[in-house]
Structure 1
Amino acid sequence: MTFFPTLDLVELLFSSLPAHGHTYPLLPLAIAARAQGHHVTYAIAESFHPVLTALGFDVVAAGPEMMAAFAEAAGRPLDAGPIKPHELGEDELHQVASRAFTEIMPRGFARDLKPILAETKPDLVVYEVANPGAAIAAKAVGVPALAHGFGRAGFAGDDDDDSLRDWGKGLVAIAAEHGVSLDADRIFEFGDPYVDIYPSSIQHPDHRDTENRVPLRPVPFAEPGELPEWVTEHREPLIYLTLGTAFGQAEVLRTAIAGLAATGARVLVAAGPTVDIAALGEVPPSVTVESWVPQADLLPHLDLIVHHGGSGTTLGALGAGVPQLFLPQGADQFINADAVVGAGAGKKLLAGEITGESVSTAAKALLSDSATAAAVRALAEEIAAMPTPDEVAKRLPEFAG
């Protein structure tokens, strides 16, 4: 008789900031862990509870909503509406984002999660790397923790960007409030094992092949939805245009639409939650505009993607083997654009360079360049060789207490 080892089942608590770009990258691993029999609880603000309960996770409320954190950081009333990054000056945006990410959100998550962890005593906390409050709470209670990346590691302290490195200093005081000692110069993953979904070849040099790195294939996640019927039947090249869920600007989208329509391709636009479709005006017949599309399902059908450079979109396109034209607007988008462009798999246009003509020229070049196609293919093959969520989920018990 042959005996097969039984997988040790563990109690897991996942936690991320309440934003699509911070939560969706963790879901493939959480889904795989649940499918293997591990019990998964997800700690996050209530706005993300519906999508998580639909996936079968238990949920607990923790941390502030992103909109509320930014409103508090800017000293604005919450009912004044969402803060739009492009409406703030560079210095003001940096100050608001710094306070939101290194004071308000980590303090809120540490405060809310500490008693939850003390009561439930999970075997392992898996925290999104931009949610250090969850890491602080885990360390305060003595629960083992695993950091989970959402993009290129350098976003949290690139050696070439003093402003980013300085963001971590406020975390030391918050940790001290909970009896946790942190090194101000090492605030990326706090020494915990780091689940890295970024391809090693374009990862930040300081975070490639490190001892605590746990590679994980980036798998796009999207809520269920229907693609337009013509997407799977198109004869012309298909270009997808999006500026994501937080950085949408009608003016940029209008300019890009005009340029992409001039290429002769079919164009599908996701306006996103921050742009009213009516603000885009009448579009050419070759262009279809939707408020939202199931991006994970769309990616395999694309010939080119034109986007802001969010990590989820960047990695999804890399895995699907799609060349990329970046129109970065803020956050880690410039870092992603530089990584992909540096590998020869895309192009970028900065704010002052975005015109209908420049977008059209760059798009045509990306659709036809064989060197770009080879670079895109190489990165897709690298991602395909990374461990799957199922494979990494089987390793979770080794990180648990």
Structure 2
Amino acid sequence: MTTPQRAHVAMFSIAAHGHVNPSLEVIRELVARGHRVTYAIPEAFAEKVAETGAEPVLYRSALPGPDDDPSAWGETLLDNVEPFLADAIQALPQLARAYEGDEPDIVLYDITSYPARVLARRWGVPEVSLSPNLVAWEGYEEEVAEPMWKEPRSTERGQAYYARFEAWLKENGITQHPDPFVGRPPRSLVLIPKALQPHADRVDETVHTFVGACQGDRAAQGDWERPAGAEKVLLVSLGSAFTKRPDFYCECVKAFGDLPGWHVVLQVGKHVDAGELGDVPANVEVRSWVPQLAVLKKADAFITHAGAGGSQEGLATGTPMVAVPQAVDQFGNADMLQALGVARHLPMEEADAAALRAAVLALVDDPEVARRLEEVRAGMAGEGGTRRAADLIEEEIARGRRDGGVKGARAS
């Protein structure tokens, strides 16, 4: 494939690890290929973005930040979605000003970045979604979205949300209904293994291309060494957001503390202090953060919240998982992992010490689980990852130029 002339690529995302991390290796690869990449992001992630070689374009966000208490996101569906619309409305003028006179040749965006889609259409450039989690399949609206939204839509608050969304889109020259605007991108690269996608056979692959995990070597995050004498290693992590679960961590300590031959790495996040866990046995290593992929490469089991990132890291390293989902897509991911035969889905209300220990021990002793993990890993290896994602983005740049939808390269 002929590499296109240097382009200005603009990426847009929010300040959340689960939305930024999946795209970073793709951005790093585009920079390495000689493209100028700008990345619109709140200041909390500026340094992480700059490490890829991209230029951070900072904007002020009204969303809860990565260090905020998870309760800031609320509890209901409308609690969860209203902040994204409010943030988009206030962020759009900032981003339009930031890019005035420096418009890109292509817009890449995380699924949460509504302003990116508005700007791409305003500028007349290709827009490509980099999806960090599952995408809609044919029938998704009828099977999932409509039942989920039936009650909220019937409320005054829900109707006001849709009215505000439609009005904002129309103000910006977009007549599309909010639902397809959010859920049906014109082009999408899916940064998860196809094995994690529900109803993958019903996904329109002329729109969505599964490139799989784009993980990189993560060397900058540091390494982790398996302690001498540890026959088995267990990692426990609920990710970076919904980590305020001291009672759950206590159950993990009770389940695996002093278990002969086992070493436990217990990541508790920023909202739990190790002192809340009481007396912790010597075989339990309590951390606020760990280099997760480095630990998983040496682990024998993984208790996870089943976020898209953690799920695919568990699959990529061939690590049996106990999935204890907390929010949003994690419940579906947990079901997918269990259906693949590589995990057990254990609801939080059932995740006591006895259940956790039984699930982990059953998984690590089951040769069929090991076989299924190896089978999934082999499938993931053929998806292409970072290089394929960059190739496809370059194809979109070239296509846009051929079709006249993209101006010549502006980067000097």
Indicate the TM-score class for this superposition, using the shorter chain for normalisation. 0.7 to 0.9
* Residues 1:193 and 2:192 are matched in the alignment: no
Q: How far is 1:286 from its partner?
A: 1.2
Please report the TM-score for the alignment, with normalisation by the length of structure 2.
0.84
Aligned to 2:148: 163
1:23 match: secondary structure = helix
**Number of aligned residues:** 382
2:302 match: secondary structure = strand
**What whole-Å deviation, never above 9, does each CA across 1:330-375 have from its counterpart, x for those lacking one?**
1221111111112111011112201100000001011111222222
2:222 match: secondary structure = coil
* Residues 1:82 and 2:68 are matched in the alignment: yes
* Residues 1:213 and 2:199 are matched in the alignment: no
Aligned to 2:174: 180
Contact 2:235-2:301 within 8 A present in 1 as well:
yes
The correspondence for 2:233, drawn from 226, 238, 241, is 238
Contact 2:343-2:363 within 8 A present in 1 as well:
yes
* Range with greater deviation from structure 2 (256-265 or 134-143): 256-265
Give me the whole-angstrom Cα distance separating, in 2, the residues matched to 1:202 and 1:20.
Answer: 19
Give me the whole-angstrom Cα distance separating, in 2, the residues matched to 1:358 and 1:210.
Answer: 39
The correspondence for 1:351, drawn from 348, 351, 368, is 348
The correspondence for 2:126, drawn from 121, 144, 147, is 144
Amino acid at match of 2:253: I
Distance 1:284 1:227, change over 3 A: farther
RMSD over equivalenced CA pairs, Å: 2.8
* Residues 1:110 and 2:114 are matched in the alignment: no
1:301 match: secondary structure = coil
Contact 1:182-1:190 within 8 A present in 2 as well:
no
* Range with greater deviation from structure 2 (157-166 or 310-319): 157-166
Give me the whole-angstrom Cα distance separating, in 2, the residues matched to 1:354 and 1:57.
Answer: 42
Give me the whole-angstrom Cα distance separating, in 1, the residues matched to 2:142 and 2:317.
Answer: 27
1:362 match: secondary structure = helix
Distance 1:87 1:142, change over 3 A: closer
Contact 1:110-1:133 within 8 A present in 2 as well:
yes
**What whole-Å deviation, never above 9, does each CA across 1:36-77 have from its counterpart, x for those lacking one?**
111111101111101112332211113515326x9xxxxxxx
Distance 1:396 1:95, change over 3 A: closer
Q: How far is 1:115 from its partner?
A: 3.2
Give me the whole-angstrom Cα distance separating, in 1, the residues matched to 2:96 and 2:183.
Answer: 18
Q: Aligned runs of 1:239-388 on 2, under 5 Å?
A: 239-248=234-243, 249-261=245-257, 263-264=259-260, 265-388=262-385
Contact 1:114-1:140 within 8 A present in 2 as well:
no
Give me the whole-angstrom Cα distance separating, in 2, the residues matched to 1:253 and 1:335.
Answer: 23
Q: Taking every aligned residue pair, what percent have the same amino acid on both sides?
A: 23
Distance 1:187 1:339, change over 3 A: farther
**What whole-Å deviation, never above 9, does each CA across 1:312-335 have from its counterpart, x for those lacking one?**
111111111111111111122111
Give me the whole-angstrom Cα distance separating, in 1, the residues matched to 2:40 and 2:179.
Answer: 27
Q: How far is 1:299 from its partner?
A: 2.0
**What whole-Å deviation, never above 9, does each CA across 1:150-198 have from its counterpart, x for those lacking one?**
0122599683353369799464333222112223442345432100122
Q: How far is 1:86 from its partner?
A: 9.7
Contact 1:305-1:317 within 8 A present in 2 as well:
yes
Give me the whole-angstrom Cα distance separating, in 1, the residues matched to 2:179 and 2:289.
Answer: 40
* Residues 1:96 and 2:79 are matched in the alignment: yes
Contact 2:342-2:372 within 8 A present in 1 as well:
yes
Q: How far is 1:245 from its partner?
A: 1.2
1:120 match: secondary structure = coil
Aligned to 2:409: none
